[in-house]
Amino acid sequence: MGRVKNKITITVNGSAHEVQAEDETPLLYVLRNELNCVGVRYGCGVGQCGACTVIVDGKALQSCDLSVVAVAGKTITTIEGIGSLENPHPLQQAFIDEQAAQCGYCATGIILTAKVFLEDHPHPSQDEIKQALSGHICRCGTHQRIVRAVEQAAQKMRLTP
């Protein structure tokens, strides 16, 4: 007997989408495979590396460890929903300015976590930034550039209404 796929409505980057998935399907798979949000990355598959981070109702959460049915009726934001090439979010621009992403695989999750963090902590110290991003694994060794980028973005975000 086959598994049952249900129609589930999720709101991603401001648009409602009806998807067909098994209730326990990870949100990550739906975002990448059904909605073409390829900035959400598969890393460890167990919610420990941060590559798959998205914002759900204002909280940074790992989409590999979150079922699609758990986010029905909630607002989901991916990296595609915070800025564009023409008008990047201050965090995206700061990552470019500071060359904070070497390979870039982890950057989208870090940026989304930093966005949520900066909304609650507009004047962070370096130690607070490091603590906020401690759940992310970056193997490229650009940690200092990442911290500088978040500091730069914090300053720009304080100046932008």
Please list, residue by residue across 54-76, b when 16 or more beta carbons sit within 10 angstroms of its beta carbon and e when fewer do.
Answer: bbbeeebbbbbbbbbebbeebeb
The CATH class given to the 6-80 domain equals alpha beta
Q: Give per-residue pLDDT as tens, 38-48.
A: 999 999 999 99
Same fold: 6-80 with 90-159: no
Predicted pLDDT at 2: 61
| Percentage of residues in the chain having pLDDT higher than 90 | 86
Predicted pLDDT at 102: 86
Q: Give per-residue pLDDT as tens, 90-119.
A: 999 999 999 998 888 999 999 999 999 999
Would you tell me which CATH number, out of the four given (1.10.150.120, 3.40.50.2300, 2.60.120.380, 3.40.190.10), belongs to the domain 90-159?
A: 1.10.150.120
Residues 6+ apart with CB under 8 A from 17: 9, 10, 11, 34, 35
Amino acid identity at 61: L
Find the range with the poorest average confidence among 2-11, 44-53, 63-72, 100-109: 2-11
* Entry pTM: 0.94
**In sequence order, what DSSP letters do the residues of 59-116 get, joined into one string?**
EEEEGGGSBGGGGTTSEEE-GGGT--SSS--HHHHHHHHTT--SS-TTHHHHHHHHHH
Domain range list for the chain: 6-80, 90-159
Q: Are 17 and 11 in contact (CB under 8 A)?
A: yes
Query: Which of 92, 85, 79 minimizes the C-alpha distance to 150?
Result: 92
